[in-house]
Amino acid sequence: MTTRWLTSEEQRAWRAYIAASHLLEDAIDRQLQQEAGMPHVYYSILANLSEAPDRRLRMTDLAERTKITRSRLTYAVTRLEKDGAVRREGCPSDKRGSTAVLTDEGMTLLERTAPGHVDTVRAALFDRISPEQVGQLEEICASVARGLEGDDAQAPPDDVPWRRRSPGPCT
Amino acid sequence: MTTRWLTSEEQRAWRAYIAASHLLEDAIDRQLQQEAGMPHVYYSILANLSEAPDRRLRMTDLAERTKITRSRLTYAVTRLEKDGAVRREGCPSDKRGSTAVLTDEGMTLLERTAPGHVDTVRAALFDRISPEQVGQLEEICASVARGLEGDDAQAPPDDVPWRRRSPGPCT
DNA sequence: TAAGTTTGTTTCAAACTTGAACCAAGTCGA
DNA sequence: TCGACTTGGTTCAAGTTTGAAACAAACTTA
């Protein structure tokens, strides 16, 4: 099959997307690095923990929610543990497992830095788009995420019947 | 001023966006790493060069188009130069400057790997959204990019009159 | 129940990114 | 035309990410 190249509308959209996502991530990373001393992903880890029951989550679970690899998470949690924001605990039911727990200190850090973070996200994104666009963005991203979620391959071959989906939100 | 937290629509959109952008970048990076032996940003560098007149661009110019820092670009170009995909040339008019040039080898690599890349982008994004959504995505991203473009601070203080903008597309 | 497989997590080396510091080479005003 | 500032790029150390390999604890099954 010969390649279906992008139409010029698609090209424009793709380029705009690449630019926007780079600029946005950079802006957020810079802001959080300054105010919280950590990059966005690390902040997201804390945020996810703060919303979990008992502020604790199994490593793999946390990796799935934050959409990062397990090894990246291991590194991040080790660092956050040094900072005192997170604590690791063994899992009694499954001795292989380990659980990340948000400490009080971590919670405090989160509460202290959340306003600045939200301001940044607002200034960069939500203050620049209309309420309809918020909905549109969600729909688009949800479709994309649904398609890629738990996908091992990028282009599911036609001979594979179907793949698992996972429900629920993320950070 | 007390923080304006995200509404629940905004939260949903934001989470969906974070998830989608991580998954998408990962998928593309994996695909390109396999087929082209380089991450997405490096591919973008080559792609940008290929479209430039005479396939050459000043470093700073290239950094601006790809939305990456100068030091990151320096590193990347050094690597791509080792691979033989790019060549550096001094700039006659401005002796400080250096110019990155896409080699024939680099162009070949690009041509060879472009189809697979486009397929991935299609499978992950464009095949999952409607033509209207393509337009919506572009609008949204363009707004965000416009807001962040060449912004040194994330939240321009009110006492600063205005900031420069730059026109044109990117990759 | 030993052997083989899967699952949860960490480890390690190599590659990449960051930001600050640095070095020219241009520019500008007195 | 000197000195101060800006601009274009690179360098360096510290931090982060990647993917493959290693481990160990569950499972599965003959």
Residues in chain B with CB shorter than 8 Å from the CB of A36 are none
Judge whether A13 lies within some domain.
no
CA atoms within 13 A on the CB side of A137: 31
Judge whether A78 lies within some domain.
yes
Domain count, chain A: 1
Residues in chain B with CB shorter than 8 Å from the CB of A44 are 18
Judge whether A82 lies within some domain.
yes
Judge whether B171 lies within some domain.
no
B62-to-A84, B41, B97, B149 alpha-carbon distances in Å = 40, 12, 12, 15
In angstroms, the CA of A97 and the C1' of C1 are apart by 25
Judge whether B42 lies within some domain.
yes
Tell me the three state secondary structure of residue B30.
helix
Q: CATH number of the domain that B60 lies in?
A: 1.10.10.10
Q: Which of A66, A15, A69 is nearest to B19 (CA)?
A: A66
The pLDDT value recorded for residue A151 is 62
Please state whether strand C lies within 7 Å of residue A58 at its CB atom.
yes
Please state whether strand C lies within 7 Å of residue A89 at its CB atom.
no
Judge whether B53 lies within some domain.
yes
B48 has a pLDDT exceeding 80: yes
Report pLDDT digits (tens) over B52-100.
999 999 999 999 999 999 999 999 999 999 999 999 999 999 999 999 9
The pLDDT value recorded for residue A2 is 84
In angstroms, the CA of B67 and the C1' of D3 are apart by 35
The pLDDT value recorded for residue A3 is 86
In angstroms, the CA of A36 and the C1' of D9 are apart by 30
Residues by CB within 7 A of strand D: list them.
A 38-39, 41-42, 68-69, 71-72, 75-76, 79, 94-96; B 26, 29-30, 33, 58-61, 70-71, 73-75, 77-78, 88, 91, 94, 96-99
- The string of DSSP letters for B125-158 reads TGGGS-HHHHHHHHHHHHHHHHHHTT-SSSS--T
Q: Are strands B56-58 and A98-102 parallel, antiparallel or unpaired?
A: unpaired
Give dist(CA B148, CA B153) in Å, integer.
Answer: 9
Burial class (CB in 10 A: 0-12, 13-18, 19+), B96: exposed
Judge whether B13 lies within some domain.
no
The residues with which B88 forms a beta bridge, in sequence order, are B100
Please give the mean pLDDT across all residues of chain B: 89
Beta strands in A55-108 (DSSP E): 56-58, 86-90, 98-102
Q: How many helices (H) and strands (E) does chain A have?
A: 6, 3
CA atoms within 13 A on the CB side of B94: 7
The pLDDT value recorded for residue B151 is 62
Closest residue, chain A, to B27 (C-alpha): A154
DSSP H or E segment with residue B102: strand B98-102
The pLDDT value recorded for residue A61 is 97
| Contact between chains at B13 and A118 (C-beta distance less than 8 A) | no
Stretch B3-20: mean pLDDT: 97
The pLDDT value recorded for residue B3 is 86
Judge whether B21 lies within some domain.
no
Domain holding B75, by residue range, is 29-148
Phi-psi group of A55: left, alpha or beta (phi > 0 → left; psi -120 to 50 → alpha; rest → beta): left
B121 has a pLDDT exceeding 80: yes
Give dist(CA A17, CA B67) in Å, integer.
Answer: 12
The pLDDT value recorded for residue A168 is 23
Query: For every one of its 171 residues, what pLDDT tens digit does chain A have, with 9 covering 90 and above?
Result: 788 999 999 999 999 999 999 999 999 999 999 999 999 999 999 999 999 999 999 999 999 999 999 999 999 999 999 999 999 999 999 999 999 999 999 999 999 999 999 999 999 999 999 999 999 999 999 999 999 986 644 333 332 222 222 222 222
Please report, rounded to a whole number, the percentage of residues in chain B having pLDDT higher than 90: 84
B169 has a pLDDT exceeding 60: no
